[in-house]
Amino acid sequence: MSNKSEENHTHHLILGKNTELYFSILCGVFLVSGYLIEKLTATASVIPLILYIISYGFGGYFISIEAFKKVSKGEFEIDFLMIAAAIGAAYIGSWAEGCLLLFLFSLGHALEHYAMDKAKKSIEALGNLSPKTALIKRNGKFEEIPIIDLKINDVIVVKPNTKIAADGVVIKGNSTINQAPITGESIPVDKTSISTMENLLEFHEIDKKHTVFAGTINGDNSIEVLVLKLSKDSTVARLIKMVSEVETQKSPTQRLTKKFEKWYVPIVLIVVVLLCFAYVIIDESFNESLYRAITVLVAASPCALAISTPSAVLSGIARAAQKGVLIKGGKALEDLGAITTIAFDKTGTLTEGKPTLTNIIPVENFDEATFLQLVLEVESLSNHPLAKAIASAIKKQYNIEAKNEASGVKAIQGKGITAFYNEKKVFIGNVKLMKDEGIHIDEIIISKMENLLQNGETVMLVAYVDKIIGFISVMDVPRKTAKDTLKRLREIGIKHMIMLTGDHQNVGDAIAKQIGLTEAKGNLLPEDKVTEVKALLLRDKKIAMVGDGVNDAPAMALSTVSVAMGAAGSDVALEVADVALMSDKLENLPFVFGLSKASKRIIKQNIFISLGMVFLLVPITILGLTNIGFAVALHEGSTIVVVLNALRLLRYDME
Ligand SMILES: Nc1ncnc2c1ncn2[C@@H]1O[C@H](COP(=O)(O)OP(=O)(O)OP(=O)(O)O)[C@@H](O)[C@H]1O
Ligand SMILES: [Zn+2]
């Protein structure tokens, strides 16, 4: 049986989408009626034969089309084996068995397509998310227009309990919004209007409490949304595009079984042809030899094997999509299921990623007001989460504003930033940065730093010209769910959980202890994170890296499977990661790993069932210990069992 998704061939669908299923059922109906008439009427009649032939027609229709297509390309696959077996059965007069073969095979085929359709549908459901039109407000007037005509900076009005038509920022009104279609979170989130539209940041940089996604559902209040993305670039549009590409990537097991089939099918054909001539050697008629050959042909066909993996992979991916997790292909799914080591980024992954300012202290003889102003000016120019937190805290707590007195800011990866303030150089960052610049740090400051570091606070030194003028410390708290999540991960078989952070070792250790990580590695530059991932790969073969793509993208790219958090909020993460959690909920991880493990388990079971049946039936049929009907029932039955087993994944849940 072939995998539709990879060949993308469409059948003539006379009876609509389920034609294949109806044909298969009709095949079965004619088989049963033919069989009953044959058994119940004593006298020989042609009616059963006619019914069997009709049954052949329905059962063999789609299989012949596929077999023919492949044979004309020089490929002999299972469809061909089935047709050959059915013709052989007819030739020796075993019409009923031939019908049963075609019926079960086509039923398995139709079920396979049902599984694929089901998977695709839950993915395509995403496509129906965005409404077709939007109510826009132009010059104070309302107008309903198709969403493809929406332009950036249009203002749309979203009525209560309707779908939002575009990615944008709320500029008027507050509401709660059901984001489940995109992020899978079932609880609606509060959204408030942004205070000012001046200097509006990029969509992804705006605080999430103000931004909304196309396809999500507004709650009880009317809101106005400033459109920030064209309909074709919306998060949901890109999601759909990616999901449709997912299917083209085959999983490792799928590749393996394909390779196996390539050799196996011709071998079966040769053996079967040889068996046709068994009568030359042993004492039996040609028809008896043929009968045996056909029975072996049925028994040896790898029908179940061919669909065992694709059906499980698609079901797994579909289930994940329902929960707001995008798994990009069978490889990611299978690899994820085999993983026992996870490397985590710290900031924004294990921690909230919204550090609060705890200390901002100048050295004794430096003026505090100047110090604050300098830090504010410089950090306002940086995009780093630490910088954002520091700048906004200073503004709020000390009620001062940046006056654009700093310039030439440069980020030094993993160390900090440099800039100019009043034409003189400023350095803000860690000890490494100061060492690089040859700036002396005296004992008093070092001992103060130590205290804060023990506490799990991130400390940054500030130097002006060539002297330390003070330090800043911030505290980023672990996510509330981090501890439980790691515990659950351990329960489902993750052995090593390691934090990789650019922050100080002590901070890493403090957080690791609080949430129960096995190890924390601090003071890492982005390239050090890559080295660490390499080392882990060497030790454990396969590792997953969970991050947000901020300073861990290279390390993520190198890991076996990269998992991005909050991907709905970041273009890079969504694009690059193998697995994307739409929401930034760490607590989704156990579900993802659990589902992947379950998928892997089901794939294994399926392969065991399908190969097991072949190994069992082939010797029995060669020895002539069973009739063809029995072989057909067991063999094709295993195909159906395998598909049903895979469909279980659509209902997977933790516990
Ligand atoms: N804009 C900045 N202002 C002050 N210090 C900075 C700035 N950017 C980086 N640093 C310093 O460099 C260190 C390393 O930064 P990096 O971005 O590599 O990692 P991180 O954000 O601390 O943590 P993680 O690696 O877990 O994401 C920071 O801990 C901080 O001391
Ligand atoms: Zn096929």
Q: Is the CB of 521 under 6 A from ligand 1?
A: no
Residues of the chain with confidence (pLDDT) below 50: 1-12
Which residue type, as a one-letter code, is found at position 49?
A: L
**CA-based Rg of the chain, rounded to a whole angstrom?**
32
Q: Which amino acid is residue 442, in one-letter code? A: D
CB of 502 closer than 6 A to ligand 1? yes
Q: Is 220 a catalytic residue?
A: no
- Crossing angle of helices 78-91 and 47-72, in 10° steps, is 150
For the CA of 418, the nearest ligand: 1
DSSP classification of residue 185: -
Among 326, 499, 363, smallest CA distance to 440 is for 363
Q: What is the DSSP string of 2-25?
A: --HHHH------TTSTTHHHHHHH
Q: How far is the CA of 460 from the centre of ligand 1 (A)?
A: 9
Per-residue confidence (pLDDT) for residue 169, from 0 to 100: 93
**How close is the Cα of 480 to the center of ligand 2, in Å?**
50
User: What domains can you pick out in the chain, each with its CATH number?
Assistant: 4-124+244-318+596-651 (no CATH), 131-233 (2.70.150.10), 340-352+478-559 (3.40.50.1000), 356-475 (3.40.1110.10)
158: Cβ below 6 Å to ligand 1?
no
By alpha-carbon position, which residue is closest to atom 11 of ligand 1? 416
pLDDT of residue 7: 39
**Alpha-carbon span 557 to 547, nearest angstrom:** 11
User: Which pLDDT score, from 0 to 100, does residue 531 have?
Assistant: 92
List, in order, residues 6 or more apart from 304 with CB less than 8 Å away. Answer: 108, 606, 609, 610, 613, 635, 638, 639, 641, 642
State the Cα angle at 209 between 323 and 374, rounded to 5°.
130
Instruction: Give the mutation target among 352, 386, 501, 527 for probing the ligand 1 site: most ligand atoms within 8 A of CB.
Output: 386
The closest of 194, 146, 180 to 166, measured between CA atoms, is 146
Grouping H, G, I as helix, E, B as strand and the rest as coil, residue 353 is: coil
Answer whether 387 contacts ligand 1 (Cβ < 6 A).
yes
Residue closest by Cα to atom 15 of ligand 1? 414
* Ligand 1 midpoint to CA 423 (Å): 24
Which pLDDT value is given to residue 315?
87
Output the residue whose Cα is nearest ligand 1's atom 23: 502
How high is the pLDDT of residue 421?
93
CB distance 347 to ligand 1 below 6 Å: yes
- Residue 250 has phi, psi (to 5 degrees) of -85, 150
- DSSP track, 78-132: HHHHHHHHHHHHHHTT-HHHHHHHHHHHHHHHHHHHHHHHHHHHHHHGGGG-S-S
Which residue among 351, 357, 392, 415 is best mutated to probe the pocket of ligand 1, counting the most ligand atoms within 8 A of its Cβ?
415
Q: Which of 345, 548, 552, 578 is catalytic?
A: 345
Q: In a mutational test of the pocket of ligand 1, which residue from 392, 453, 503 has the highest number of ligand atoms less than 8 Å from its CB?
A: 503
pLDDT of residue 10: 47
Rounded Cα distance, 380 and 409, in Å: 10
Residues in the chain: 655
Q: Is 545 helix (H, G, I), strand (E, B) or coil?
A: strand
Task: Give CA–CA dist 148/155, Å, rounded.
Answer: 14
Ligand 1 neighbourhood includes 386 CB (under 6 angstroms) = yes
pTM above 0.90, yes or no: no
- What is the atom index within ligand 1 of the atom nearest the CA of 458? 29
Helix axes of 505-515 and 443-454: crossing angle, nearest 10 degrees = 20
Do 605 and 303 touch, CB atoms closer than 8 A? Answer: no
Burial class (CB in 10 A: 0-12, 13-18, 19+), 325: buried
Atom of ligand 1 nearest to the CA of 529: 25
CA of 63 to the centre of ligand 2 (A): 7
Return the pLDDT at 118: 67
Q: How far is the CA of 273 from the centre of ligand 2 (A)?
A: 23
3-state secondary structure of 352: coil
Say if ligand 1 is within 6 A of residue 494 CB.
no
Task: Give the Å distance between the CA of 82 and the centre of ligand 2.
Answer: 10
C-alpha to C-alpha distance for 177 and 179, rounded to whole angstroms: 6
Tokens representing residue 144 in the block = 């309903």
Q: Tell me which residue has its CA closest to atom 22 in ligand 1.
A: 503
So what's the pLDDT on residue 340?
93
- Ligand 2 center to residue 3 CA distance, Å? 6
Query: Which of 460, 472, 570 to mutate for ligand 1's pocket (most ligand atoms within 8 Å of CB)?
Result: 460
As to burial, measured by CB atoms within 10 angstroms (0-12 exposed, 13-18 middle, 19+ buried), residue 197 is exposed
DSSP-derived 3-state class of residue 496: strand
| CA triple 641-644-650, angle to 5 deg | 155
